[in-house]
Amino acid sequence: MIRNSLILRNVTFSPALFCAPMSEITHSAFRRLLADFGGYGALFTEMLSARALLKEDPATSPYVKKRPEEGRVIYQILVNGSEPLAAIADRLMAFGADGIDVNGACPSPSIKALRAGAFLFEDEERLAQVLRTLRRCYPGPLTVKIRLGRQRPDWQAQLSRRLKLMEDCGVDALTLHPRFQEEKLKRSARHDLFPWVAAQTRLPVIANGDITGAAILQANPGYFEPTAGIMLGRIAAVQPWVFAQWHQSEPVDYAEVWTRLFRYACEDFTPQKAVFRIKIFTAYYARNFSFGHTLFTQVHNAKTLETIYDTARRFLSAAPQLVPAPSTSGV
Ligand SMILES: Cc1cc2nc3c(=O)[nH]c(=O)nc-3n(C[C@H](O)[C@H](O)[C@H](O)COP(=O)(O)O)c2cc1C
């Protein structure tokens, strides 16, 4: 069901299985944990303010740092068209990016204020300017992550126009999260729309949204057959081994995996930032357990790294009962 590879501009992503960009989750420490398990074709960074990344030091910054063991990493940028895109592309090449992804999907109010994400996608002229400039400056894989656009009667015509625009601007592939901009993460992703979107464009379409395992694809193979790849988001934070164990689950030491993420976050972040990132990760990881809300609440209320560690270890070392299929809804 997962394609062996997706090749964009002579760069091979194998298998065609990707970890989604997730703000405050897919930082260097989390990607290091995923890399320990492997099984993916590329990891996406969290969305990076294009202007801010010019100032980041790749040796130390958990936002832009890339360890060799991560394999392929695509850097997602948040842009509105006012940035020095040539300098940004140069910088990303220097970081060793295996691709640049433009965030055309994020619908949050703070992103609206920046006129980026889904709001860049709405603005045909600015979108074309950004993509054309990046295409001119960057020879590697250029992708865009999108939603369905705004929920209005002519959304299909609008989306088709954007697909054509992306083709004309030299984009190599797109990721579709089939929810409307207004929906955030509510309702279910509309997997039944993948065939329609794929038929509108010659660009490879990577399918994203509410895909938590092979069973989702097996239930409706026709929805995914025309897509070129699969992208997993929240489930990767719940089960960082999901890529490696896509076809068959194997025993996992849940306490050890959490502890490793804790250690990696402490290595890459200042203590204050590590506290924040570990709490976010734990909110997802807690979904594995029948009484995961206890783990989540206790870690959430802890103030220091020491208390987070002691609290979580106490919960995890007591062999907590697992849920058969963790859900990502509402988290
Ligand atoms: C905490 C969180 C942060 C996210 N940050 C980003 C982001 O930085 N860039 C982006 O394009 N999408 C972002 N997303 C959306 C995901 O990439 C993905 O499209 C969405 O979660 C649906 O996929 P899933 O059901 O597999 O999680 C984020 C989602 C979550 C839950």
What is the pLDDT averaged over residues 67-92?
A: 97
Closest alpha carbon to 193 in 222, 231, 232: 222
**pLDDT value at position 313?**
98
The per-residue pLDDT for range 206-228, each reduced to its tens digit, is 999 999 999 999 999 999 999 99
Provide the pLDDT confidence category of residue 247 given band limits of 50, 70 and 90. confident
Query: What confidence tens digit (pLDDT) does each residue in 143-200 have?
Result: 999 999 999 999 999 999 999 999 999 999 999 999 999 999 999 999 999 999 999 9
Cβ partners under 8 Å of residue 222, min gap 6: 195
The residues lining ligand 1, judged by C-beta closer than 6 Å to any ligand atom, are: 20-23, 25, 46-47, 76, 103, 105-106, 145, 177, 208-211, 232-235, 328
330 confidence band (pLDDT: 50, 70, 90):
confident
Alpha carbon of 19 to ligand 1 centroid (Å): 10
Residue written as token pair 């976050």? 265
Work out the pLDDT band at 258, boundaries 50, 70, 90: very high
Look at residue 331 in the predicted model and tell me its pLDDT.
Answer: 85
User: Cα(166) to centroid of ligand 1, in Å?
Assistant: 21
CA 249, CA 245: separation in Å to the nearest integer?
Answer: 5
**Which numbered atom of ligand 1 lies nearest the CA of 47?**
8
pTM of the model: 0.98
**Rounded distance between C-alpha atoms, residue 136 and residue 157, angstroms:** 28
Tokens representing 244 are 């490696």
Q: Which domains does the chain have, with CATH numbers?
A: 6-238 (3.20.20.70), 254-316 (1.20.225)
Q: How far is the centre of ligand 1, averaged over its atoms, from the C-alpha of 314 (Å)?
A: 30
pLDDT digits (tens, 9 = 90+) for 25-62: 999 999 999 999 999 999 999 999 998 999 999 999 99
Q: What is the pLDDT of residue 296?
A: 97
Mean pLDDT score across all residues of the chain: 97
What kind and span of H or E run contains 92? helix 85-95
Q: Which of 199, 230, 197, 226 is nearest to 216 (CA)?
A: 230
